[in-house]
Structure 1
């Protein structure tokens, strides 16, 4: 984490991003951008200076309407219900994920098509324990951890920073249970302005953004 001119920046997939809500625009001069890159040793910067513009090659995936089963078609409702029936979703402390989450992380990573390498278990634990994110855990009925998520909160927005699912348990619909429960918590209970799954990924191919748009009514907000 680097702080520059009152804004905290974090590294993600080789890029440096500001830890602010996507709708909060950031303005840097060319000189400031070069100085920040040198300071952080990142490959490039990613930040928003024209939120929710017309279509472009970069976007964020957001949901800004209240969650509820009634807003979905029957097929998606049934998939969510299956997930909620098969799984237990709850907020947990960071120690829970630090101590039990690495096997899920490493198994999920095997399914990625990416130039990145998985981090070690020690690095995983250190990263989690140093985090101030919200953490969520998904358990099956035998109380086995099968998925987790960590989200960072900025003002009235929740950024879905990472979601990992053990491939062995995907038939329990944990993704439906987790995403629905988090949406309901942040959008309905906390009344946040929106939830955000992040920017377009350039480091690996992922279907999660298409999944969120198709199943959970997320939309693209262009930058």
Structure 2
């Protein structure tokens, strides 16, 4: 199994800024810094360490999770599934869709050659479904290629599962492995494949492999979404028995950003009352204020 520093190595090779400081490895994600660890192995981090990191990285804030074993409810959580897993644990409706998906599609690990040949085309089709302009969510082809080259250097850290209709890839998941847990970092479905239950078949096969065959501690689709509006986590919870693992959110800001957030915090409800998507800058401001509300409520 991969060691923690290998995950940071993959992220750096994939194009992320990586900063190693005070025994902790951080990477830049959507403009801010996060620890390069799955939530159950995040090292202890204090505010002073985070402040030094922000000076070194020149990023506006750092965010991290602690208390991943927290039992009491909190406004910060990860959507996870622990084993064992079986088809019988799903509802009759979900079982039917899984079986139909497995009859129509083949789900298995995909090679990097298959990902190079077909993976980006799946992303193009999937992005068109949610974003007709194809700009906001679609990875650039050269960035996609660089990520695959990075994965080639870290085979114990990154792997791909895909659903195929014949020889044609119609869905895939990029999975990040660390310390006997796995993060489904990116999942893409061609829209037409959803009628063949690609989402059900792909999820079922991955859960069975990771939790039963390979004995991973848990699978996660990630943390509570702050900026993007998505229904995929509701799908995992409602259909496959994922649960919310509560935790504590910590955030440290640069002095300038911290002052702006403190000044704007009590006006956050006015931002939340408008339609999202029309003003991207205001959407980002709302996301920052939502994050601050979660931090204060943890």
TM-score by length of 1: 0.90
Kindly indicate whether residue 50 of structure 2 is the aligned counterpart of residue 26 of structure 1.
no
Kindly indicate whether residue 162 of structure 2 is the aligned counterpart of residue 137 of structure 1.
yes
Shift of 1:12: 3.1
Q: Which residue number in structure 1 is paired with residue 126 of structure 2?
A: 108
2:74 and 2:246 in contact (8 A); partners too: yes
Q: Which residue number in structure 2 is paired with residue 14 of structure 1?
A: 31
Q: Which residue number in structure 1 is paired with residue 99 of structure 2?
A: 81
Q: Secondary structure at the match of 1:129?
A: helix
Q: Secondary structure at the match of 2:66?
A: coil
Deviation per CA, 1:121-144, whole angstroms, max 9, x where unpaired?
11111122212311111101x321
Rg larger in 1 or in 2?
2
Kindly indicate whether residue 54 of structure 2 is the aligned counterpart of residue 37 of structure 1.
yes
2:39 and 2:66 in contact (8 A); partners too: no
Aligned Cα root-mean-square deviation (Å): 2.1
Q: Secondary structure at the match of 1:47?
A: strand
Q: Secondary structure at the match of 1:110?
A: helix
Shift of 1:163: 0.6
Kindly indicate whether residue 141 of structure 2 is the aligned counterpart of residue 124 of structure 1.
no
Aligned residues between the structures: 222
**Larger helix share, 1 or 2:** 2
Shift of 1:42: 4.0
Inter-CA distance 94–38: structure 2 relative to 1 (3 Å threshold): farther
Inter-CA distance 70–99: structure 2 relative to 1 (3 Å threshold): same
Deviation per CA, 1:181-208, whole angstroms, max 9, x where unpaired?
0111110011111111111122311111
1:51 and 1:222 in contact (8 A); partners too: yes
Inter-CA distance 215–43: structure 2 relative to 1 (3 Å threshold): farther
Shift of 1:112: 3.6
Inter-CA distance 124–48: structure 2 relative to 1 (3 Å threshold): same
Shift of 1:24: 2.4
1:98 and 1:129 in contact (8 A); partners too: no
Q: Which residue number in structure 2 is paired with residue 156 of structure 1?
A: 180
2:38 and 2:178 in contact (8 A); partners too: yes
Q: Distance in 2 between matches of 1:134 and 1:23?
A: 20
Q: Secondary structure at the match of 1:191?
A: coil
Matches within 5 A, 1:174-189: 174-189=198-213
Q: Secondary structure at the match of 2:204?
A: helix
